[in-house]
Structure 1
């Protein structure tokens, strides 16, 4: 019965996202939402030195009556989102109108609190989870694994999923690629995700844990150090060329993966400068109708002592979007040719290089 109810709630929420509300947004609620945004920015936004500027700018926009004639809830959310990104230059800011999601989140919290009180929370872990179901459908972000001519591995990642869900799939993918002579990891158009990025990266480090990244969370003032994993589920991929493909749509956790691999000297980055969105977020309810995606954490790389916010991950090799894969592939062949002692195999690599230079990459980037 619980499973059936959960599915009904999910379907209701999904349906609501596709339809526009006919409710009229009042002036009182608009100002209440803006004041709540300012409060959250003041107390939780990761860059404390920018909070006053952002909030003063919101006050200025409110006084110019920019939002006066906006009566639609979604249009108001979109306008606020655009203004927050423009003012702060932080691409993680987003306001969402979704009263059904607010309600379902509250109901879910209440249900789990009740289950915990009666000691039944552990028994509900098997309840259908729409997020896990969707993650399975996209293979936990691993879209493609193949071995290109010349024994060069290729992995296309569209998302870094929750490690608990994705670990066995990552291990399986790296098992396929274990005996290749070089590896291309394609994170173009990858929108980010979770800490499975550091688990995948652990395949390229030895067993001794290395500081991967340091996160600072403003609300708690805590620093959280992420290390590479001592134990992984497969053979480590060491002392082989690794190339990572990026573009301007490589975002957030995908950028973290490229940035850390670059500055730990584990990979060559090829492509276009990434989005420049380094901050971690929380998703908070503001009232019965609106939620805010609020940046609350920053990254501190152990080598650079900074992050890529507003700058992006700058590739070692900049290319046009059409040439990215071809450039990485031919550079790998050059490395293999230079390192190969077997003359016949070296000639084989050279033939592949000449062949591939004539192929135009098909891309939608």
Structure 2
């Protein structure tokens, strides 16, 4: 009996040991000393004035942060997670803006650098029956420059009778890539939108700038964009811009509704702050898709949108019947 118990005990130790080793090698949460907390607060106050989109609404928040720094809860050190909870609560409650995030800033040395993760994305294209082009964008298009790949893909389909662009499985994207996707379907120099910042920065106009070899699309090729409820941000810029320039028909679910643009600012050695810094306004609607999303012209389930778009593309005269 004793021998059996000993064997069971040793087996339990063997089962537990990997877990203990894994926990010991996990990334430890940093401890923020009082001085670093002061840096975080002071740099955040500066960012709220200089970078935050709605800087005029932050007077009470800045006063609260300064109070906590001098005579409140931020006069001592904290573990990162505990401080993050208190800090974000002040920002969100004071602005009613849930876009703030205090993130841990990973420390890199010359000898120990984590490789940047490769983006998992794809631009797939296909020529369907009746000379209908189909492009499917999958994954994230944030870091890598895919302009040449996009131009090459569109170039192979420039003689189609209709084009379907599928955004249903698209992930994150940069505004630069979104502008590249929109430009071929508008006349060169068309004002696509105005990017507004806070009062510290002048607005920026976004103009269509298509590659010369893609000029065949603008105003000549019917375009259908497939959307889902998960399409957001720059992809919504694509849908909203082309829809309101009468350059595309939107098919599927209404999109998520996120037009504010985010940036991340280092605020200390261990922390960085993510906040909204810009928004886009369409020149024709003088509005954007924030909160409402982009309304689909043809309201169908996302999984049925390709079939619907194919019907529209194959029979332009059938559009009114399907509305």
* Shared fold (TM-score, shorter chain, > 0.5): yes
- Superposed, 1:255-274 pairs within 5 Å as 255-274=236-255
Go from structure 1 to structure 2 and tell me whether the alpha carbon gap of 1:197 and 1:333 turns closer, same or farther (over 3 Å shift).
same
Query: What's the CA shift for 1:261?
Result: 1.0
Q: Does 1:197 align with 2:178?
A: yes
How many equivalent pairs are there?
289
Partner Cα separation in structure 2 for residue 204 and residue 20 of structure 1: 47
The aligned counterpart of 2:50 is 43
Unaligned segments of structure 2, at least 5 residues: 1-24
Counterpart secondary structure, 1:150: helix
Deviation track 1:182-232 (CA, whole Å, cap 9, x = no partner) reads 1121223432213132222221123x4111111123264212111111643
Query: What's the CA shift for 1:32?
Result: 5.4
Go from structure 1 to structure 2 and tell me whether the alpha carbon gap of 1:175 and 1:223 turns closer, same or farther (over 3 Å shift).
same
Q: Does 1:187 align with 2:167?
A: yes
Q: TM-score, normalised by structure 1?
A: 0.65
* Structure 1 residue corresponding to 2:156, chosen from 152, 173, 176: 176
Query: What's the CA shift for 1:288?
Result: 0.8
* Structure 1 residue corresponding to 2:195, chosen from 202, 210, 215: 215
Asked whether the equivalents of residues 37 and 286 of structure 1 are also in contact (C-alpha less than 8 Å), the reply is: yes
Counterpart secondary structure, 1:40: helix
The aligned counterpart of 2:118 is 134
Go from structure 1 to structure 2 and tell me whether the alpha carbon gap of 1:58 and 1:301 turns closer, same or farther (over 3 Å shift).
farther
Partner Cα separation in structure 2 for residue 331 and residue 61 of structure 1: 60
RMSD: 3.9
Asked whether the equivalents of residues 99 and 276 of structure 2 are also in contact (C-alpha less than 8 Å), the reply is: yes
Go from structure 1 to structure 2 and tell me whether the alpha carbon gap of 1:217 and 1:318 turns closer, same or farther (over 3 Å shift).
same
Go from structure 1 to structure 2 and tell me whether the alpha carbon gap of 1:178 and 1:33 turns closer, same or farther (over 3 Å shift).
same
Go from structure 1 to structure 2 and tell me whether the alpha carbon gap of 1:83 and 1:259 turns closer, same or farther (over 3 Å shift).
farther
* Structure 2 residue corresponding to 1:303, chosen from 280, 284, 303: 284
Query: What's the CA shift for 1:250?
Result: 1.8
* Structure 2 residue corresponding to 1:240, chosen from 217, 221, 240: 221
Query: What's the CA shift for 1:267?
Result: 0.9
Asked whether the equivalents of residues 214 and 225 of structure 1 are also in contact (C-alpha less than 8 Å), the reply is: yes
Query: What's the CA shift for 1:233?
Result: 3.8
Q: Does 1:251 align with 2:258?
A: no
Asked whether the equivalents of residues 258 and 291 of structure 2 are also in contact (C-alpha less than 8 Å), the reply is: yes
Partner Cα separation in structure 1 for residue 175 and residue 189 of structure 2: 19
Query: What's the CA shift for 1:90?
Result: 5.0
Which has the higher mean CA deviation after the structures are superposed, 179-188 or 254-263?
A: 179-188
When you count strand as a share of all residues, which structure comes out higher? 2
When you count helix as a share of all residues, which structure comes out higher? 1
Partner Cα separation in structure 1 for residue 289 and residue 61 of structure 2: 20
Asked whether the equivalents of residues 127 and 157 of structure 2 are also in contact (C-alpha less than 8 Å), the reply is: yes
Q: Does 1:145 align with 2:125?
A: yes
Partner Cα separation in structure 2 for residue 328 and residue 315 of structure 1: 12
Counterpart secondary structure, 2:124: strand
The aligned counterpart of 2:308 is 327
Deviation track 1:37-76 (CA, whole Å, cap 9, x = no partner) reads 34422332112343246657879999xx9999x9542465
Asked whether the equivalents of residues 45 and 51 of structure 1 are also in contact (C-alpha less than 8 Å), the reply is: no
Asked whether the equivalents of residues 259 and 289 of structure 2 are also in contact (C-alpha less than 8 Å), the reply is: yes
Partner Cα separation in structure 2 for residue 270 and residue 81 of structure 1: 38
Asked whether the equivalents of residues 281 and 297 of structure 1 are also in contact (C-alpha less than 8 Å), the reply is: yes
